[in-house]
Structure 1
Amino acid sequence: MSELRYETDRGVVTPAQIEGMFVGWPNPPSPQQLVAVMDGSYRRVWALDGDRVVGYINAISDGVLNAFIPWLEVHPDYQGRGIGAELVRRLVAQLGDTYAVDLCCDPEMLPYYEKLGFIRLAGAGMRNPHAIACGVRSEVPTASPRWCP
């Protein structure tokens, strides 16, 4: 492992640098989709070992009071080294005086985030498990999402 570096600019990562991410996802995004998501996010931090992406985190925000962290991932070969905590620290620093920084996670991940200063909140969500794989994007929001065949 070379020295890790952290990048925050758009366009610093290409899909060719991404391999082995989204472990356990039933319908993982493609490397192209990940780059598009990260480059389109309000804030982002990539962790790189040489040219290889080994972790990332992003935030979407209204730019005034609220931000949401949809993705934090560290490559399995790099977990347990503090990279995830450093990604969170760097992203939260970028968010500055934002009033609310929220995220949703699986219940078993709550203790991890609590160690990083997050508190438990109630929440709800809706997921379209096929949207990543088949690119569903409705022009008009509906009460019930359209699932692809």
Structure 2
Amino acid sequence: MIYKNTLDGISSDMLKGFFVDWPKPPNPQTHLLLLKKSSKVIIAIDDQTNQVVGFITAISDGVLSAYIPFLEVLPEYKNKGIGKELVDRMLKELDGIYMIDLCCDDDLIPYYDKFGMTQTNGMVFRNYKMQSGSLKI
């Protein structure tokens, strides 16, 4: 497995199969754009197939706060330590930041507990008609 914190050499063709179970998933071109517009990104590439098999992103002001909106690993690559490695690497990238936040479903709380994260309350707004993304921004 190769881990990179750059998108050099990454094309939308390498981003297939993500956003499983989303009713309106972003297409690979929109996925690539969201990676490019993130403050930080780390990707996992299968060195045998040259396909991206996992990614994590962060949005940050670079001073005090960061938010991790996405951690995804393709279903066939889950439970191999790829997600853990992506989170560990992102937390190192954000080491100088005061607060690192993320939202997750209840069943994922034990997973993030292992990284020293603390459960808290949060509020979200979801505009589901825009779930597949927009290339206009």
TM-score (normalizing by structure 2): 0.92
1:7-28 Cα distance to aligned partner (Å, 9 max, x none): 1113431110112111111111
Q: Secondary structure at the match of 1:54?
A: strand
Q: Secondary structure at the match of 1:47?
A: strand
Contact kept in structure 1, 2:58 and 2:66, CA below 8 Å: yes
Which residue in the other structure is 2:28 paired with?
A: 31
Q: Secondary structure at the match of 2:85?
A: helix
Contact kept in structure 2, 1:27 and 1:133, CA below 8 Å: yes
Which residue in the other structure is 1:117 paired with?
A: 116
Which residue in the other structure is 1:48 paired with?
A: 45
Q: Secondary structure at the match of 1:16?
A: helix
The correspondence of residues 83-102 of structure 1 with structure 2, limited to 5 A, is: 83-102=82-101
The amino acid that maps onto 1:21 is F
Classify 1:134/1:59 alpha carbon distance in 2 versus 1 (closer, same or farther; 3 Å): closer
Partner Cα separation in structure 2 for residue 24 and residue 54 of structure 1: 16
The correspondence of residues 1-149 of structure 1 with structure 2, limited to 5 A, is: 4-50=1-47, 51-133=50-132, 135=134
Q: Secondary structure at the match of 1:124?
A: coil
Return the offset for 1:121: 1.1
Partner Cα separation in structure 2 for residue 112 and residue 69 of structure 1: 14
Which residue in the other structure is 1:147 paired with?
A: none
The amino acid that maps onto 1:6 is Y
Aligned residue pair count: 135
Q: C-alpha root-mean-square deviation of aligned residues, in Å?
A: 1.7
Q: Secondary structure at the match of 2:7?
A: coil
- Structure 2: runs of 5+ lacking an equivalent: none
Classify 1:89/1:131 alpha carbon distance in 2 versus 1 (closer, same or farther; 3 Å): same
Larger relative CO (CA 8 A, sep 6+): 1 or 2?
A: 2
| Higher mean C-alpha displacement, 12-21 vs 40-49 | 12-21
Larger radius of gyration: 1
Partner Cα separation in structure 1 for residue 105 and residue 63 of structure 2: 27
Return the offset for 1:134: 6.7
Contact kept in structure 2, 1:130 and 1:136, CA below 8 Å: no
Partner Cα separation in structure 2 for residue 12 and residue 34 of structure 1: 15
